[in-house]
Amino acid sequence: MSERVTITVKDHIADVRFNRPEKMNALDGEQIDAIVEAGEKLAAMEGIRAIILSGEGKAFCAGLDMGSFAASAAAASEESKDGEKSPLANTLTDRTFGNANKYQHIVLLWRKLKAPVIAAIHGPCIGGGLQFASAADIRVVAPDAKMSIMEMRW
């Protein structure tokens, strides 16, 4: 399992942490894959009574890693010689998980876990981070938390 998300289980309680503190736990492709992998691993575990989700460092999750996704968008717009999109292309409209795209799936996966999920929110909790927090059954928010969804501005 990737070190981007860590899972420690003690006394039937899973402590799950986003582990990309140098980027305030921002979401890039590798982070998203690690979150999906962690959610699937938790879904398969027996005896878990609660899941505590938090972020390492000074943020819960600062949302999308804009630098990473700008590079992905550039790759998606490139077409190969035969007119096909680059294999690196990853659009928001591809329904690769039933009726959900990958970005919807990572949140829905956590919402469907059998054990209650408690989001321990501190520092920035922006965009996708706030979507994760919203998927939790319970949210505990530290006084220093800053929560926002940029779509509100749009």
Write down the domain spans for the chain: 5-152
User: Tell me, what's the pLDDT at 122?
Assistant: 98
Of 63, 75, 140, nearest in space to 103 by CA: 63
Q: Is the dihedral of CA 27, 69, 134, 122 positive or negative?
A: positive
State residue 150's pLDDT score: 79
Say how far apart CA 59 and CA 47 lie, in whole Å.
29
The predicted structure's pLDDT at residue 37: 95
Give the per-residue pLDDT at 66: 81
Architecture of the structural domain at 5-152: Alpha-Beta Complex (3.90)
What pLDDT was estimated at residue 142?
98
Low-confidence ranges of the chain (pLDDT < 70): 1-2, 69-93, 152-154
Q: What is the pLDDT of residue 88?
A: 45
pTM: 0.82
- pLDDT confidence of residue 81: 47
- Total residues belonging to the chain: 154
